[in-house]
Structure 1
Amino acid sequence: MKLNRTRFSLLSALLMSVLSLASCTSQSSQQAASEVPVMPSTSETSTISEDGVEAYFQQLLSQYGQDCTECLQPLELQVRGTPNPQGSSQTQTDLNVLIALDSSGSMAESITGGTKIDVAKSAIARFVSQLPETTQIGLLVYGHKGSNQAADKAVSCAGIESVYALDSLDQAQFDAAVQSFQPTGYTPIAKALEQAGQLLPVNEERQNIVYVVSDGIETCGGNPVVAAQKLHTQADVIINVIGFDVNNEAQQQLEAVARAGGGKYLSAHSASELDRIFNQAQSQVEQTLYRAQNSIDRTYAQSKTDIATTQVSSCVSIKLTQESARINSALAQLHPEDSNYSYVEAVREKLETRHAAIREWSNRVQQSYRDQRDVTLEQLRQDLETVNQRYGQPTN
């Protein structure tokens, strides 16, 4: 929701009341002068007509006065709302989701619900169909070349293929890509992560997420933990790992990969469990979207407020400098025989008082912007906490 309209209306009302003392218009200045304590009189000013001083001051303001209300601007800060458990949200950050699927020989083994590879293919196809429409989706497969025999190891470890290039989802084409390979060979997880880094663009407006689905450890001599850490730290990619019917050794390695990749490790041993895992992944996608947008909104609120306060301060300062220079120039051109000559010092005192009041008003305007920023940041903080509690991750 937008927070600025009501506050800006209140700010405008405040401005009108303040300008009864310190407006840059001639009418407001007249009232400001009437409320300023009378300055101590001297031998030169004791006989000066206050009405004459005020009339001349208003004449100068009508000619040279600056309208500081032009420095005001609405401050528009937004809180977009949190995602709900059904997956809808108001976030605008988009995602790149790349799935790296293990198609090594062991994925041909049977579990409850079918072979591992068939169960994984079906779950993945359902998962991508539920992602937000703006999500770019890719499918990377490894272990599907050669065989799991020693003679074919080199071929199999090099056999990493993007079967669905990162793009918006075409369900028919994606389903066809999923069915285009079968499990045969080794498990080059590290090289698959390296290739994932080459496929994912570095784009500040899109969050990159990789889901590794594997039933075993790295078998091609690579270091998937190092590869995951490099991809996460250098390209800001979140790497989540789904261990599918893995043993203890494989689980320990895959958990380490997920930690190094800044993501989560999830474990499944059957078709129903894998579906549950991907449902959790769907919720995680929504959380990731919101967390990214929340961060953008926090940065925007801070920078927008900084810009607004700086612009008001600079604008008012420039206008007061111009007004002072022009009025003092006019005063400097008066001669002793001029009828307004005796008003010079009194007019300068009025101008100083007027400018002090306008600066005070400017400070209040800037503080109102900062107050609005603080309210927005607190709302964003609370929303982020709500999302993290809902999906089980701590607030950063």
Structure 2
Amino acid sequence: MKPFLLTAALLAALPALAQTEVETTEALLDRYLAEKGGDISACFAEMPQMRGMDDPEGFRAAEAPAEVPPRRLVLAFDASGSMAARLGGGTRMEAARQAVDGMLDGMPEDVDLGLVAFGHQGTNDDAGRAASCAGVETLIETGSAGDLRARVGELEPAGWTPLADALRQAGTQLAASETPGEQVVYVVSDGEETCGGDPVAEARALHEGEIRAVIHILGFDLPAGERAQLQAVAEAGGGVFTEIRSESDLARRIDELRRRNANAGQLLRVQNQAAGTSLRNANQAAGALLKLDNCIAGRALREQNWLRAWGREAGLSEDQLQAVRDALTKGHDAYRTEAAAIRESLEAERDAANDTIRQQREGAEAAFEAVR
């Protein structure tokens, strides 16, 4: 063969030789992975599904302002002698008990309830005044709605009205708070202070001090002068004064209390579900992605570490070993690229789900405000 013909033949064969070398590297890599490799593709298990919330139910409209959902409520119950007076077909005491029943109906179970009684000691004449005015008593520090109903049902009209001391005593059952209104003192009474105290000052101290409580007053069939004092107490305590003058007033107020409790309870459930579901999404996404990264990193490290020893056993040259290592690294990089895409997708899904949850929670809070 002439020299130029031999040269042409060699040049024509070079691409085939190069292709044969690439196939040999691939074959070596396949054999190595079959003998020593891990199934990195198994790291890409199904990712968790991000959850949302069910659409919250609507809130029931109320006729009077609704407070921040309470965490602690202390009932200050007036059992002074005047509570025996008639109101409609019963007594003020009976109406007050019905109002307490309405307030407790549907009260969220996680609200701490307490009971302070006043006016239940002594008598409502001069002889019994000292004992009555000194007889403010915490009957329940923390109890259930059933406990409060039972103890209120045992009280009978007796003495005078130490309202200021009752507010002070209720304050001892409360703690410092950064949220106005999450602690409530609910006064049920039929008259003004008669023991020389200053209930307006006591209410203001509870509301404007570190406790930041709200004082609500439910008054029963009050004379004009006494009504003004209880209104001033509620105003100083940042709360609402409501008067019951008839059985229809009582029925309306009880219905509103039940609506308010239902709304507050529902809002609390929505807030808790939103917080729990968002946390679950965050934790499941973080856990799945950490597991994916660790799985790829661990198996890739083992495959790189075992390659040299396997290459010696297989009789590979340094060039062959380096070619297999380069191909192995390229494969690992492809897995890492796929993992990065999965991370981006799952984090976007998590953020979208939690943003929807946030919008639902804010919508529920706005709906709660709208019916206040």
**TM-score, scaled to structure 1:** 0.67
2:166 paired with 1:185? no
Identity of aligned residues (%): 17
Q: How does 1:166-185 map to 2 (within 5 A)?
A: 167-168=143-144, 174=149, 177-185=152-160
Aligned residue among 211, 235, 257 for 1:255:
235
* Change beyond 3 A, Cα 1:80–1:237: farther
1:172-198 Cα shifts (integer Å, max 9, x gaps)? x94685253114212234534634753
Shift of 1:354: 2.3
Equivalent pair of 2:77/2:116 in contact (CA under 8 Å): yes
| 2:29 corresponds to | 56
2:120 paired with 1:144? yes
Distance 1:97 1:105 in 2: 25
| 1:225 corresponds to | 203
2:259 paired with 1:283? yes
Aligned residue among 342, 347, 353 for 1:372:
353
Describe the SS at the equivalent of 1:273: helix
Q: How does 1:206-217 map to 2 (within 5 A)?
A: 210-217=185-192
AA in 1 matched with 2:230:
A
Q: How does 1:347-358 map to 2 (within 5 A)?
A: 347-358=328-339
AA in 2 matched with 1:60:
L
Equivalent pair of 1:241/1:266 in contact (CA under 8 Å): yes
* Change beyond 3 A, Cα 1:176–1:365: closer
Equivalent pair of 1:193/1:227 in contact (CA under 8 Å): no
Distance 1:216 1:283 in 2: 27
Aligned residue among 320, 325, 330 for 2:306:
330
Describe the SS at the equivalent of 2:120: coil
Q: Which moved more, 1:363-372 or 1:150-159?
A: 150-159
Distance 2:235 2:31 in 1: 77
Distance 2:191 2:305 in 1: 85
Equivalent pair of 1:312/1:362 in contact (CA under 8 Å): no
* Change beyond 3 A, Cα 1:348–1:86: same
Q: How does 1:14-29 map to 2 (within 5 A)?
A: none
1:220-252 Cα shifts (integer Å, max 9, x gaps)? 345432453389x64x87653323335223212
Describe the SS at the equivalent of 2:156: coil
Q: How does 1:1-396 map to 2 (within 5 A)?
A: 48-50=21-23, 52-53=25-26, 56=29, 59-60=32-33, 63-66=37-40, 67-70=42-45, 72-79=47-54, 81-82=56-57, 85=60, 98-125=74-101, 128=104, 130-131=105-106, 139-148=115-124, 152-161=128-137, 167-168=143-144, 174=149, 177-192=152-167, 194-195=169-170, 198=173, 210-218=185-193, 219-221=196-198, 223-226=201-204, 228-229=206-207, 234=211, 239-244=215-220, 245=222, 246-257=226-237, 259=238, 264-333=240-309, 334-335=311-312, 336-337=316-317, 341-389=322-370, 392-393=371-372
What is the Cα-based RMSD across aligned positions, in Å? Answer: 4.1
Shift of 1:120: 1.8
Distance 2:356 2:23 in 1: 46
Equivalent pair of 2:52/2:356 in contact (CA under 8 Å): no
Number of residue pairs matched by the alignment:
330
Distance 1:387 1:54 in 2: 68
Equivalent pair of 1:57/1:347 in contact (CA under 8 Å): no
AA in 1 matched with 2:157:
Q
Distance 1:145 1:307 in 2: 56
* Change beyond 3 A, Cα 1:387–1:59: farther
Equivalent pair of 2:72/2:113 in contact (CA under 8 Å): yes
**TM-score, scaled to structure 2:** 0.70
AA in 1 matched with 2:227:
N
Shift of 1:143: 1.4
AA in 1 matched with 2:159:
T
Shift of 1:326: 1.3
Shift of 1:368: 1.0
Shift of 1:321: 1.6
Describe the SS at the equivalent of 2:219: strand
Q: Which moved more, 1:244-253 or 1:144-153?
A: 144-153
Gaps of 5+ in 1: 1-43, 88-92
Distance 2:81 2:92 in 1: 10
AA in 1 matched with 2:44:
T
Distance 2:227 2:240 in 1: 18
Describe the SS at the equivalent of 2:121: coil
AA in 2 matched with 1:178:
G
